[in-house]
Amino acid sequence: MRRALGGLLLGAFLLTACGGGGGGADRASSTTAAPTAVTSPATTVLPTTTTTAPPAVNRRTGVGVHHETFVDPTRPTSSGESSRTFPVTIWYPTPGDPDAPPVPDAPPDRSVGPYPLVVFVHGYAVTPDFYEELLRRWAAAGYVVAAAAYPGDDADYVMQFTDTSFLITQLLQLSAGAPGSNPLAGTIDPNRVGVAGHSNGEAIAYGLGFLQCCRDRRVTSVVALAGILGNINNPVQRDNGVPVLHVMGEADELQPYNEAIQWDRDNLTPPRWFVTLVGGTHAPPYRSPSSPYFDGVVTITTDFLDGTLKGHPEKLTAIDDYVAANGSLFRVER
C-alpha cells in the first residue's frame, strides 16, 4: 500500500540511546537537526467502528502473527533510497493457547472485537523481534500489536515521527479491507489507537502523543519505556488529555534516572503514571522473561492499556494495587 505524507520538519533535538541487551553492546549517540518550521503529520479519515460496551479485559487468547511490507514512496532515506520501506510484524488475538508460539496467519479470534491497535517503536540497533515476548503478551491480552523495522540510519531518526503516523494509516486501511482480503480485515477499532516505544522509540511514541511537531490526533494512549522524554527539544502540548505511562529503571545504564523523573514531574500533566523499576536496567525488563521485572512490566503496561484504550478505569487502579504488592521491585508516581 502506498500513501503520500507531508514531510516532518523538527527543531533541534537530542537522539537518545537504546541498548541491544542480551549481552550486546549498547550505544549512545546524539544528532542535531537544523531548526526550521514544524508541521503536523497528515492523517486520513477512515470509516469508524464503534463498540457498544468497553472491550473485554482479563481474557487471554492465542496469538497469530502476520507480516506486511508498507512503502512510502514520497520520502527518501538519508542513505539515498528514493522511498521508505517498512517490514512490519503484526501480532493479534486468535483462538488457541495464549502461551503457545504465535501462529503465522492464523484466523483472528472474532468472538470479540474489533481490538485496539498498539503500534510499537523499537530502540536503537534492534528490530521488533527483540521485544517479541512483550508484544506477544499484549496481543494475547486483546490487542492488535504492530512493530516495524524502520529504514535508514541515525540521520533518519527525525523522520520516525512521520513514519509512525504513516504506519498507523496503513494498518487502519489494512483492517478496513473487505472481509477475507487479509487476515486482519475488520480486526482493528480505529477509535482506540495507542503508541508504545522503548529507548529511542519511547521518544517517538511520546512525540505522537504530545509534541507540537508530531502530534497525531488518532493516538489516545502512550506507553514510554526507558528514556528521558525531555530529550526532544520541541514544545509540548500540555493538558491535552492523552494518558501517558512512563516506565524507567532506577539503574538504567544509559539514561540518568533522576533527570528523567524530574522532567516528568515538571512537565507531564495528568493523566500520567511514572513507574520506577527499583534497581532496573535499560533493556532486559522489557524483553526478557528471565528478568525479575518482566512479568510486572507486562502486567502494569497491560493494565494501563486496558484502562486507557479499552475504557476500564478499574484497571488503572490495579496498577497501584500491583505496585503496592510488589514494592521491592516497583514504585509508582502520578
CATH number at residue 211: 3.40.50.1820
Q: Are 172 and 46 a contacting pair, CB within 8 Å?
A: yes
Judge whether 32 lies within some domain: no
Q: By C-alpha distance, which of 143, 126, 90 is closest to 301? A: 143
Q: Is the pLDDT of residue 6 over 90?
A: no
pTM of the model: 0.87
List the domain range (segments joined by +) for residue 216: 62-244
Judge whether 74 lies within some domain: yes
Report the relative pairing of strands 84-94 and 62-72 from DSSP bridges.
antiparallel
**Residue 102 preceded by cis peptide, ω within 30:** no
**Could you give the CA distance from residue 153 to residue 78 in angstroms, rounded to a whole number?**
7
Of the two residues 113 and 165, the one the predictor is more confident about is 165
What's the confidence (pLDDT) of residue 201? 96
pLDDT tens, residue by residue, 69-116: 999 999 999 999 999 999 999 999 999 999 999 999 999 999 988 999
Judge whether 328 lies within some domain: no
Judge whether 133 lies within some domain: yes
Judge whether 235 lies within some domain: yes
Structurally, the chain folds into a number of domains equal to 1
**Could you give the CA distance from residue 266 to residue 327 in angstroms, rounded to a whole number?**
24
Q: Are 210 and 216 a contacting pair, CB within 8 Å?
A: no
- What is the arithmetic mean of pLDDT over 252-272? 94
Q: By C-alpha distance, which of 232, 92, 248, 64 is closest to 157? A: 232
**Could you give the CA distance from residue 22 to residue 39 in angstroms, rounded to a whole number?**
38
What's the confidence (pLDDT) of residue 59? 93
3-state secondary structure of 245: strand
Judge whether 11 lies within some domain: no
Judge whether 218 lies within some domain: yes
